[in-house]
Chains A and B, each alone.
Chain A
Amino acid sequence: MADFTSDFWNYYVIILTLLSVIGCGVFLYFLSRHKIKPGASPDTTGHVWDENLQEYNNPLPRWWMMLFYITIIFSIAYLLLYPGLGRSTGALGWSSTQQHVSELEKAAKEYGPIYAKYAAMSLDDITKDPAGLAIGQRLFLNNCAQCHGSDGRGAKGFPNLADHDWLWGSGPEAIKISVLEGRQGVMPPMGAALGSPEAVENVAHYVLSLSGSAHEATKAAAGKPLFAACAACHGAEGKGNIAMGAPNLTDKVWLISGTVAGITKTINEGRNGVMPGWKEFLGEEKSHIVSAYVLSLSKQK
């Protein structure tokens, strides 16, 4: 054990502990015998306070004293079995680290088969298994709900998982990759490339027109040729690209904002979205179940 920097502390602990234990026994033996001077009454200790307050010498039951001796025997047995005397590791070899490891092993033994069973099933099959979905929901609530909400319907900047719009592609494989590896969606700032603030506003109106949202037609028409700069990622028709997580602009699903001001800000400053990968933290099997739960969310109603 490397907890001690020098041998001194090892012996310091051993000697102090043993002295205390033995000392208790010695005190107990001698203090349970009371000497009485000739002629004195054995009924009181002879101490007198406040003129007439005396201390009685009523003996305790003997079995009571035996309990004290038992604690001494217990402490010696404990020190022999468990680590306590300096560097001694105890006869049982117990350590908190070892206990933690064995509890982990016990849990793996108990829950391992459950996860193994679901790991062998396809995501689609798990979505039909209520018990599997219940496990998935608990994992989701503990790990995913912070951003995506307890109902998975997302929030500003965090995708809604319960609709049919997928940034990185629908289907079990794409979802599982998102969960395991994470995703990083980058929208670069395009203000400078487009030139003037008017040009940016025109493009914003054009983007709104793609989904049939409220917009000004003249500005949208002016913005249409400028959209070529965006087409590299969002496609010529603005339908997005699941290979790089570029959103589809022709639906009415807005990840961050669907107003002129919001879109203008997005174009000017760019956006950066990060979904962390969960492979390291949750592991393959739990990620599998939580992916199935996410898949089930979009299958609702």
Chain B
Amino acid sequence: MSAEIPSGAAEQTILLYAPRKKLYPRDIKGFFDSWRWALVWATQLLYYGLPWLSWDGRPAVLFNLVERKFFIFGLVLWPQDFIYLTALLVTSAFGLFLFTAVAGRLFCGYACPQTVYTEIFMKIEHWIEGNRAKRLRLDTRGPAGERWLRRMLKFSAWSLIALWTGFTFAGYFTPIRELVDLTRAAALGPWQSFWILFYSAFTLMQAGFMREQVCKYMCPYARFQSVMFDRDTLIVTYDEARGEPRGSRSKKADHRAEGKGDCIDCGICVDVCPTGIDIRMGLQYECIGCGLCADGCDSIMDKMGYPRSLIRYSTQNAITKGYTSSQLRAHILRPRVLIYAAILSIIVALLCVSLWVRSPLKVDIMRDRGALAREVEGAFIENTYQFQLINTDERPHRLQIIPSGLPGLMIASGDTVELPGITTQLFIVRLRARITDLEGKPAGPHKIQVRVESLTRLGVGVDDKATFFIPK
């Protein structure tokens, strides 16, 4: 980034903070570009589409923050299920580790929202302002009127997409059809308006203006993914042995005879790069592993009639040791990858099992603290409890409360309770045992177990522990 200083010059001051150099990435078609667009479509159909799906007369995916209930198709998660979010994050982390160890920054290049939205916004830029050459000309010596007209057009198109993105985001937290009605009636709440506009503004800023700056200076994942690299990790590489010495040449000439490599030094790999680096300088921290330089180079190789893949996905070992493609594939299965894969599959399996056996009922039992116990008519010892019963299910349950752990322990209040779907309700429950049955038990607290079992759905129930106090 620094300028050369002629020796012998006077003392000089440089700024430690540099202005951004605007990039004008060239549009390119090719194998990796197709994959990138396939992933743009896949991720964005998912993102924009999910809020519109319905399930049992409600949105299929809805995170209701006000009531703290999280609907994901047939599943209703409560704040008590927070552990699943942890599991999801751990799964994502190990997924990232695995993919990165195998093929470098795949996530950065293909699936990261920053990359995906930047790609969409660049495509729009390309449609409205033209290709790289036109954009450069427009910015430097084009007529100001046309420049501002096209900029306004581009900005409007970007804003529309950004607004739609923000609107969709809010649609994950308020049913999106409701949101449409509210918008039409101009009756959006302050928080709904804030999040729609905030998310839109951020999309516009990040994808329209910040772009590679986010990856280079702000994103922590970009930095720590390099820790997972080793010399067998697939990265976008330039085959230096084949390409060098680079230089321009006539298409008809035999460049080998001239002592030249396959690289014609056309610079297309730099022109197409969304982060503006030269891949021929080797692996750099700015490289998001998108492979567009490989697409660019292949198109030139085709024109020159040279074999493709001067720039390709390869590993450092493969380049230096000259692996064949089967040798390269064999090196994918190495301890690091196998360990990541094993951990990932264990976590995913555990997550699936725990979701499968998860009881839709939850109970929290609190024994009355102020009063220890009481003796009631008929020579019973009685304890009072507050049962906080939670039905996370959308179906109502008829529940039976079954205490155990002391001889003759029974329920004095009604032993079945009705619990409607998706509710949490407090029930006051009295447990008692005959004094004669408790003979021989020391005074003081005794551990008991309580099972709350559904009579509506067999096999569904939940257990909890409590204490029963026997007075002196």
Chain A residues with CB under 8 Å of chain B are 31-43, 57-65, 137, 141, 145-151, 153-156, 158, 252
Contact = CB atoms under 8 A, between A and B. Distances in A.
Contacts of B370: 145-147, 149, 155
B101 to A, nearest CB: 28
Contacts of B356: none
Contacts of A148: 371
A50 B368 CA distance: 67
A149 B371 contact: yes
Interface of B: 1-3, 5, 7-20, 213, 217, 368-377, 382, 384-386, 413, 426, 428, 430, 471
B18 A36 contact: no
Contacts of B426: 137, 141
A68 to B, nearest CB: 9
A154 B413 contact: no
A193 B217 CA distance: 91
A158 B371 contact: yes
B11 to A, nearest CB: 6
28 contacts: A33-B14, A34-B15, A36-B11, A38-B7, A38-B8, A39-B8, A43-B2, A57-B2, A59-B14, A59-B17, A60-B18, A62-B15, A63-B20, A65-B17, A147-B370, A149-B368, A149-B371, A149-B374, A150-B368, A150-B384, A150-B385, A151-B384, A153-B374, A154-B371, A155-B371, A155-B373, A156-B371, A158-B371
Given A145-B370, A158-B371, A150 B386 contact: yes
A165 to B, nearest CB: 12
A38 B5 CA distance: 8
A33 B16 contact: yes
A38 B11 CA distance: 5
Given A39-B8, A154-B374, A149 B14 contact: no
B371 A147 contact: yes
Contacts of B428: 150-151
B20 A57 contact: no
Given A37-B11, A64-B217, A151-B430, A42 B5 contact: yes
Nearest to A151: B428
Given A33-B13, A155-B370, A141 B386 contact: yes
Contact of A32 (B2, B11, B16, B413): B16
Nearest to B210: A63
Contacts of B18: 59-62
Given A150-B384, A252-B377, 13 more contacts: A31-B16, A32-B17, A33-B16, A36-B12, A42-B3, A58-B1, A59-B15, A59-B16, A64-B17, A141-B426, A146-B369, A149-B368, A151-B430
A290 to B, nearest CB: 16
Most buried by A among B369, B384, B413: B384
Given A39-B8, A42-B5, A156-B374, A57 B16 contact: yes
